[in-house]
Structure 1
Amino acid sequence: MHCECLIIDDERVLADSTAEYFNLFGVKTSAVYSALECRKFFEENETELVLLDINLGDGSGFELCKELRRKTEIPIIFISARTSDDDKIIALNIGGDDYVQKPYSLGVLLAKVRVVLKRYGQSAGGGYSEQGYSDGRLAVDPYAKQVTVDGKPVKLTALEYKLLSYLIRNADRVVPKQELFEKVWEDRFTGDGTLNVHIRKIREAIEREPGNPEYIITVWGDGYRFHGGGQ
């Protein structure tokens, strides 16, 4: 079975009502209620996006996210009643694409899911004009959707790949944060903290010294600039 969205949440009533609402509005959605059921789901099924609760009855959503990231780069959005900034930072650092706090509006969450599905579909191929790049060390292949450093593949999520590609397309121009929110996330309300975490993860993957970047330069108060070939 193929679905567009998989909800993993041990609050069965909430998971079922969210899935029912999404299906009603044309987003094919399934729900499971534990990490074990999630593993069983992926043995025979696939999905394009995951909504993942942090607190699961049989484990941690954080650990399940790490497990999923070893197998797939599909978008993972955390949904949680936990409000700590530390939780949000952890969620993004381990491979989450976004963090939505409970209680959520079904309409707002559906709108966010639709945007992410559209973005992932573009990133997976079709509709997103990209530009390849190679300087002898860093290479980005838009056909294989692959980034390599010194000939070795580096792992980026679909969102991080799209973010890097957008900066490359606009090389040597300062790209304002708001433009990245609107063109990469396609969501003008994405927060600075989310963007900063993903920029740092890309730097950790491609820079010689992430703390002293050569490729993705921060222009304080404005945004980021991709500098081809290093400084």
Structure 2
Amino acid sequence: MSTIMIVEDDPKINQLLQSQLEKYGYNIVNVEQFDRVMTVFSEVRPELVLLDVNLPKFDGFYWCRQMRRVSNCPILFISARESKMDQVMALENGADDYITKPFDYDVVLAKIRSQLRRAYGMYAPQEGERTVEVAGLKLFMERMELCLDEARIELSKKEALLLESLMNQYPRVVSRERLLEKLWDEQFVDENTLNVYITRVRGKLKDIGLDGAVETVRGAGYRLKAYWEEV
């Protein structure tokens, strides 16, 4: 039985989400004191978090960043804020998905199931560390860590999946469609969401000295350029 933590200050939405999800066997923990979000998170260790943006004390973006410092569990935002900027902010701060209110409970349930499968079920990494290497650049999937010589940097789960696709296909081009399928399974997401993760991965590569390592191939997709191998 998976434990889902709900961080939502609207009691009616809280109650409806809890009753719907409990019908399908999920254990639900509601946060009632919004200055203790991380305390509850550390005590409960949920498999998934449903998180609102507008909260007392600090907003959901803040709490998402705090959770990401200690956990890679799936985090889904549920918010009445519909702007693309809010959705981009959520993804930039480590969220796995963003659902706008009013929402369909079947859609919420499908997204929860998909995220749980990816994190812990049939699509989760198998035992034994999975590594990918291109020209000395090493990706450790279970650690979600990228290394080049002495430089090391941590990745989010989707950043690691994106890089795994590019490295496995090196030096070939990976289509946007294939990346969307790899990162979000059967979910329907705006293609701009992929742009956000491409930007984030480029930033992570730049942090270890690999600026320009992900090339956009117009009309086709993206590919990894191991230009440092030639230096």
TM norm structure 1: 0.86
| Map of 1:125 onto structure 2 | 125
CA distances 1:19-72 after superposition (whole Å, capped 9, x unpaired): 221221233332224532422212322012211100012321111112222222
Q: Identify if the C-alpha distance between structure 1 residues 195 and 151 changes in structure 2 by more than 3 Å, giving closer, same or farther.
A: same
CA separation in 2, counterparts of 1:219 and 1:95? 26
Q: Does 1:219 pair with 2:217?
A: yes
Q: Identify if the C-alpha distance between structure 1 residues 3 and 46 changes in structure 2 by more than 3 Å, giving closer, same or farther.
A: farther
Structure 1 contact 75–159 (Cα < 8 Å) conserved:
no
Question: Counterpart amino acid of 1:220?
Answer: R
Q: Does 1:201 pair with 2:200?
A: yes
CA distances 1:185-225 after superposition (whole Å, capped 9, x unpaired): 10352211111111111111113364xx12x2211222212
What is the CA distance between 1:5 and its match in structure 2?
Answer: 2.2
| Map of 1:107 onto structure 2 | 106
CA separation in 1, counterparts of 2:82 and 2:128? 34
CA separation in 1, counterparts of 2:148 and 2:225? 16
CA separation in 2, counterparts of 1:119 and 1:220? 30
Q: Which runs of 5+ in 1 are unaligned?
A: none
What is the CA distance between 1:91 and its match in structure 2?
Answer: 1.4
| Map of 1:83 onto structure 2 | 82
Q: Identify if the C-alpha distance between structure 1 residues 165 and 34 changes in structure 2 by more than 3 Å, giving closer, same or farther.
A: farther
Q: Identify if the C-alpha distance between structure 1 residues 225 and 127 changes in structure 2 by more than 3 Å, giving closer, same or farther.
A: farther
SS of residue matched to 1:35: coil
Q: Identify if the C-alpha distance between structure 1 residues 49 and 151 changes in structure 2 by more than 3 Å, giving closer, same or farther.
A: farther
Q: Identify if the C-alpha distance between structure 1 residues 109 and 166 changes in structure 2 by more than 3 Å, giving closer, same or farther.
A: same
Segment of structure 1 superposing worse, 111-120 or 220-229: 220-229
Segment of structure 1 superposing worse, 164-173 or 116-125: 116-125
What is the CA distance between 1:228 and its match in structure 2?
Answer: 4.0
Segment of structure 1 superposing worse, 38-47 or 118-127: 118-127
Structure 2 contact 129–142 (Cα < 8 Å) conserved:
no
| Map of 2:10 onto structure 1 | 11
Question: Counterpart amino acid of 1:218?
Answer: T
CA separation in 1, counterparts of 2:39 and 2:142? 32
CA separation in 2, counterparts of 1:3 and 1:36? 24
Q: Identify if the C-alpha distance between structure 1 residues 31 and 72 changes in structure 2 by more than 3 Å, giving closer, same or farther.
A: same
Alignment of 1:48-197 (within 5 A): 48-121=47-120, 125-126=125-126, 131-136=131-136, 138-142=137-141, 144-197=143-196
What is the CA distance between 1:74 and its match in structure 2?
Answer: 2.0
Question: Counterpart amino acid of 1:53?
Answer: D
Identity of aligned residues (%): 32
TM norm structure 2: 0.86
CA separation in 2, counterparts of 1:112 and 1:182? 14
